[in-house]
Amino acid sequence: MTAEEILNTLKARFGDAVVESKLDVPQPWISLNPARMKEVAEVLHDDPSTQFDTLMCLSGIDYNNGKLGVVYHLFSMVHRHKIVLKAICTKEEPHVQSVTSVWATANWHEREAFDMYGIVFDEHPDLRRILMPYDWEGHPLRKDYKVPEYYNGMKVPY
């Protein structure tokens, strides 16, 4: 399926869950309502015409305008087609629905996005920090992150 067909399918099925889309770029993307990611993912995964069985990559991103995003790169081994999904939320309410129940690989990727950007994945089975120590404060990859002067009472030379 082409990106346009996938977009039309999603629009027909979910209507207002589709927020924005851009198809005239090398890797077309569709932006979706972050609170409805799971149902969209389930359909994309299960529907015989799309069958996105692989989540290649899941990245967090800070757009530096008060918004955070999660970017999903999907691929279907059966149909050999790709699509990029985006779920964009605000820094004040960084909530995105987890897709771990659809693709198990999302588990660690989502933990990483939580660790680095503070995006909370609702319904995630085990949302802990993954790369940073469990008692770390702040989310290092946010653009407004300041390196802390002290870590557990120790001065961090910088």
Partner 1 sequence: MIETKTLPTQYVSRPGALSTSSGKTLRTDEMIINMGPQHPSTHGVLRLEIVVDGEIIVDVIPHIGYLHRCFEKHAEHMTNYQQVIPYCDRLDYCAAINEEHSYVLAVERLLKIEVPERVEYIRVIMAELQRIASHLIAVGTFGIDAGAFTPFLYAFHDRELILDLFEMTCGARLLYNYFWIGGLSHDIPPQFIEKTKAFCKYFPARIKEFNDLLTYNEIFVKRTANVGVLPKDVALNYACSGPMLRGSGVNWDLRRDDPYSVYHKLEWEPQLGKGEMGTVGDVWDRHIVRMREMEVSVRIIEQALSALPEGNVQAAIPKRIRPDAGEIYARTETPRGELGFYVVSDGSGTPFRVKGRAPAFVNLSALPAISRGAMIADLVLIAGSVDIVLGQVDR
- The residues that touch partner 1, with contacts defined as CB under 8 A, are 25-27, 45-46, 48, 51, 53-57, 59-62, 71, 73, 77, 80, 84, 101-105, 107-109, 116, 129-133, 140-141
Q: Residue 101's closest CA among 48, 18, 37, 50? A: 37
- Strand 120-122, strand 150-151: pairing: unpaired
Choose between 15 and 94: whose C-beta lies nearer to partner 1: 94
Min dist. Cβ of residue 118 to partner 1 (A): 15
Min dist. Cβ of residue 16 to partner 1 (A): 25
Choose between 25 and 154: whose C-beta lies nearer to partner 1: 25
Report residue 105: phi and psi, to 5°: -65, -20
Residues forming a β-bridge with 96: 121
Min dist. Cβ of residue 10 to partner 1 (A): 20
**Residue written as token pair 């992150």:** 145
Start-to-end CA distance of the chain, whole Å, equals 51
Choose between 80 and 155: whose C-beta lies nearer to partner 1: 80
